[in-house]
């Protein structure tokens, strides 16, 4: 079986609230702030005095709830919601969350951000024991493990299940009388707790959702932690002490919104720092700095300030186009780049341009943007990337599970420069990335997972081990140097 990566694909976004008379509406606004984390589907499940109600469908949040009645029928004072990008499982409504599990003695809802590295093994074991799955998503596995646990208390069942699953995960579970949040032992996925003025507790993948609903950030959920929220307040517990912070560095580089704060570090600030350090590692003459909108604009600011070059708007983004990774074929993705971006000839003509971008995955988008700038009259285009070369797959919740189409896994920096048609190519070093984020921790790599860049994974890969080892042997790329033009 082959695995194709089209671009950097977001993970998912989760949101939960307890103790608000308009829980569904607040959850809608929270999910709207997290829409960048997934555009394939969305859903909300509410708790109305112990009765769980749900609405979900494929598409953007506004499409899922285009009929106001769909939101109005979700009555209750507590809710969980989800926006989905498929990291595991097919893009069908059966895989759209929240999941709702009904049993003779209770019921609960579940949402999940991340990817389980032992999902295949667990699913086979569960199915061999008679479990019946209603989806192909690995998120459903936790519910089966909870239900099959022999622990007398529900919280004990949850802890036992959390110690069984491996990989990256942020879970929210809605019960009839409580909301439970849990984070994996490495904290790969971000998860934060906030509180509204009326006393309602909220949990979100990113803090940007707090601003829109008027909530105040309280703290982040820690690795290996389980949080219980009910009518009596909030309780913090742990399900394991074998923890080591290794938050996904791509959250700071690309995924998270710039107005979010993760473990005390503002994302915009981290990206700006990355641009500043990238300028220190850059060794070419240039006239202007141009950031690729929107995720690279912060890095472009830092680069311009450090280098003393003017930061110009040489690329303009059409805000009404979908992200190119959604397009199913390479031809459509390349057409999507032209629809999404336009080069401003009056800005770049006859200029030596430093084009700042957050990453290069396949190289096709970078090649097209370089071409746009040169067609607009740029004398030179020097590409500077505010992250290290992306050489290794991710198995914790980002849709990169093969080295086969990662251009940096198959070509040197000089070859990539030649392929994308740039006059030079500079990547930020791994040390520069770690310094740019600057988490206050003694954890390895500054508390970041940088396995995408150095291949040093912070956990065993379990079901993915064989696939990963096979990918190391592959030297297959959609590019060859001779056909780059």
Q: Which of 292, 251, 256 is nearest to 275 (CA)?
A: 292
Tokens 């802890």 correspond to what residue?
159
Cα–Cα distance measured from residue 23 to residue 28, given in angstroms and rounded to the nearest whole number: 9
- CA distances in angstroms from 407 to 281, 403, 416, listed in the order given: 22, 8, 7
Q: What is the pLDDT of residue 73?
A: 97
At 36-86, the pLDDT tens digits run 999 999 999 999 999 999 999 999 999 999 999 999 999 999 999 999 985
Tokens 């990963």 correspond to what residue?
468
Q: Which of 94, 95, 114, 135 is nearest to 37 (CA)?
A: 114
Q: What is the pLDDT of residue 319?
A: 74
Cα–Cα distance measured from residue 249 to residue 398, given in angstroms and rounded to the nearest whole number: 11
What's the angle, vertex CA 426, arms to CA 401 and CA 350, rounded to 5? 125
Among 50-54, 236-240, 332-336, 413-417, which stretch is predicted with the lowest mean pLDDT? 332-336
Whole-model pTM?
A: 0.91
Cα–Cα distance measured from residue 112 to residue 210, given in angstroms and rounded to the nearest whole number: 19
Is the pLDDT assigned to residue 32 strictly greater than 90? yes
Q: In this structure, what token pair is assigned to residue 241?
A: 């002490």
| 12 part of the active site | yes
Q: How confident is the model at residue 321 (pLDDT cuts 50, 70, 90)?
A: low
DSSP code of residue 147: H
Q: What is the pLDDT of residue 339?
A: 76
Cα–Cα distance measured from residue 477 to residue 480, given in angstroms and rounded to the nearest whole number: 7
Q: Which of 272, 269, 309 is nearest to 289 (CA)?
A: 309
Fold equal for 13-243 and 262-445 = no
DSSP code of residue 444: G
Tell me what percent of the residues of the chain surpass a pLDDT of 90.
81
At 385-411, the pLDDT tens digits run 999 999 998 889 876 767 887 999 999
Catalytic residue among 12, 208, 248, 394: 12
Q: What is the pLDDT of residue 401?
A: 65
Q: Which fold has domain 262-445?
A: Rossmann fold (3.40.50)
Q: Could you say which architecture CATH assigns to the domain 13-243?
A: 4-Layer Sandwich (3.60)
Domain ranges of the chain: 13-243, 262-445
Q: What is the pLDDT of residue 476?
A: 58
Q: Is 300 exposed, middle or buried (0-12, 13-18, 19+ CB in 10 A)?
A: buried
Cα–Cα distance measured from residue 54 to residue 11, given in angstroms and rounded to the nearest whole number: 22
Q: What is the pLDDT of residue 327?
A: 44
Instruction: Indicate the SS3 state at residue 237.
Output: strand
The distance from CA 400 to its chain's CA centroid, rounded to whole angstroms, is 11
At 337-384, the pLDDT tens digits run 667 899 999 999 999 999 999 999 999 999 999 999 999 999 999 999
Is the pLDDT assigned to residue 273 strictly greater than 60? yes
């Amino acid at each position: 079986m082959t695995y194709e990566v089209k671009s950097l694909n977001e993970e998912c976004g989760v949101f939960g609230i307890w103790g608000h008379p308009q829980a569904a509406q607040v959850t809608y606004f929270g999910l709207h702030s997290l829409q960048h984390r997934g555009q394939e589907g969305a859903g909300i499940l509410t708790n109305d005095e112990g009765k769980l109600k749900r609405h979900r469908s494929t598409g953007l949040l506004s499409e899922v709830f285009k009929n106001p009645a769909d939101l109005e029928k979700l009555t209750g004072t507590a809710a969980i919601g989800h926006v989905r990008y498929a990291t595991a499982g097919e893009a069908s409504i059966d895989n759209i969350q929240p999941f709702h599990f009904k049993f003779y003695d209770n019921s609960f809802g579940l949402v999940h951000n991340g990817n389980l590295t032992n999902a295949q093994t667990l699913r086979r074991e569960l199915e061999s024991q008679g479990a019946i799955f209603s989806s192909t998503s690995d998120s459903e596995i936790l519910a089966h493990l909870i239900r099959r646990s022999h622990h007398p208390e529900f919280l004990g069942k949850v802890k036992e299940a959390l110690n069984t699953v491996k990989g990256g995960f942020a879970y929210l579970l809605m019960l009839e009388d409580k909301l439970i949040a849990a984070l994996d032992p490495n904290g790969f996925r971000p998860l934060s707790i906030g509180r509204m003025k009326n006393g309602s507790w909220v949990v979100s993948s990113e803090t940007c959702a707090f601003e829109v609903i008027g909530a105040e950030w309280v703290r982040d959920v820690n690795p290996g932690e389980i949080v219980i929220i009910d009518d009596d307040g909030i309780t913090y517990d742990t399900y394991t002490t074998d923890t080591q912070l290794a938050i996904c560095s791509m959250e700071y580089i690309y995924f998270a919104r710039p107005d979010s704060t993760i473990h005390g570090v503002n994302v915009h600030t981290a990206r700006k720092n990355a641009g500043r350090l990238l300028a220190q590692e850059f060794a070419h003459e240039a006239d202007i700095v141009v950031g690729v909108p929107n995720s690279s604009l912060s890095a472009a600011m830092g680069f311009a300030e450090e280098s003393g070059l003017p930061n110009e708007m040489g690329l303009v983004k059409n805000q009404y186009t979908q992200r190119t990774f959604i397009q199913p074929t390479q031809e459509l993705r390349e057409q999507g780049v032209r629809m999404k971006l336009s080069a401003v000839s009056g800005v770049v003509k006859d200029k030596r341009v430093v084009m700042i971008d957050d990453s290069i995955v396949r190289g096709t988008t970078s090649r097209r943007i370089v071409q746009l700038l040169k067609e607009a009259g740029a004398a030179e285009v020097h590409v500077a990337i505010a992250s290290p070369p992306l050489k290794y797959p991710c198995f914790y919740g980002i849709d990169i599970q093969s080295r086969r189409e990662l251009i940096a896994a198959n070509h040197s920096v000089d070859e990539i420069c030649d392929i994308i048609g740039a006059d030079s190519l500079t990547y930020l070093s791994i040390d520069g990335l770690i310094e740019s984020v600057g988490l206050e921790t003694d954890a390895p790599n500054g508390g970041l997972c940088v396995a995408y860049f150095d291949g040093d994974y912070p956990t065993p890969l379990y079901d993915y081990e064989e696939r990963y080892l096979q990918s190391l042997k592959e030297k297959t790329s959609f590019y060859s140097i001779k056909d780059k033009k």
